[in-house]
Amino acid sequence: MKTKVPFHKHRVCPPAVLASCLLILLSAISSQTFARELRYDENTEVKVKGKIIDCHLPTYFGFNCFLLKTKYRVYRVLTTPHWYKHQTDILFKENSPVIVVGSKFFGRDGSLCLLAKYVNVLPAGPRLVLWDKENNPVWGTYRKAGSSCMRIFFQSR
């Protein structure tokens, strides 16, 4: 026969374990919220000229990025989401001179970042426009030809 164990005799999780689980959960939620709220802010818009010194960085806030060295500073330039870069074959080369117009902010790690509105490859290279005049990302209206899933998704907006 099974005996009943008094409630106060049950094993309880230590408070340190509960606190660490709560901390992990909150940090995951806050980083996802910040990534979704990363928007172009024209109040912090700057125009910088420099050379790409590293274009093989891991994604940052879900964006592809490269390091841009100007005369006085080094910026982490955020360009496009990973999926958009691969569907449009956007390539940046190291030591390429560029002009970037973007929204300046400090990243979580304290790095100086630019959310690029456009990147102009010098001397007469292409101008890659990433945010439109209303400060909406161009990939928000991007549809891959022949993809019915994309058509359904964007028609429902």
Note the pLDDT tens digit of each residue in 56-82. 899 888 889 999 999 999 999 999 887
Which positions ≥6 away from 137 have C-beta within 8 Å? 40, 80, 130, 131
Question: pLDDT at position 156, please?
Answer: 42
- Which position has the higher pLDDT, 30 or 6? 6
From residue 60, alpha-carbon distances to 19, 20, 79, 113, 122 in Å are 28, 25, 10, 10, 25
pLDDT digits (tens, 9 = 90+) for 91-108: 788 999 999 999 999 988
Domain 43-140 carries which CATH code?
Answer: 2.40.50.140
Higher pLDDT, 124 or 31: 124
For the entire predicted model, the pTM comes to 0.65
Which residues, listed in sequence order, are joined to residue 2 by a DSSP beta bridge?
none
| Minimum mean pLDDT range among 17-21, 33-37, 75-79 | 33-37
Residue 39's pLDDT band (cuts 50, 70, 90)? confident
Percent of the chain with pLDDT over 70: 64
Instruction: Give the confidence band of 112 by pLDDT, cuts at 50, 70, 90.
Output: very high
Q: Is the pLDDT of residue 50 over 50?
A: yes
Tokens of 64: 């592809």
Give the integer Cα–Cα distance in Å for 100 and 112.
14
Which of the four pLDDT bands, split at 50, 70 and 90, describes residue 151? Answer: very low
Query: Has residue 48 got a pLDDT over 80?
Result: yes
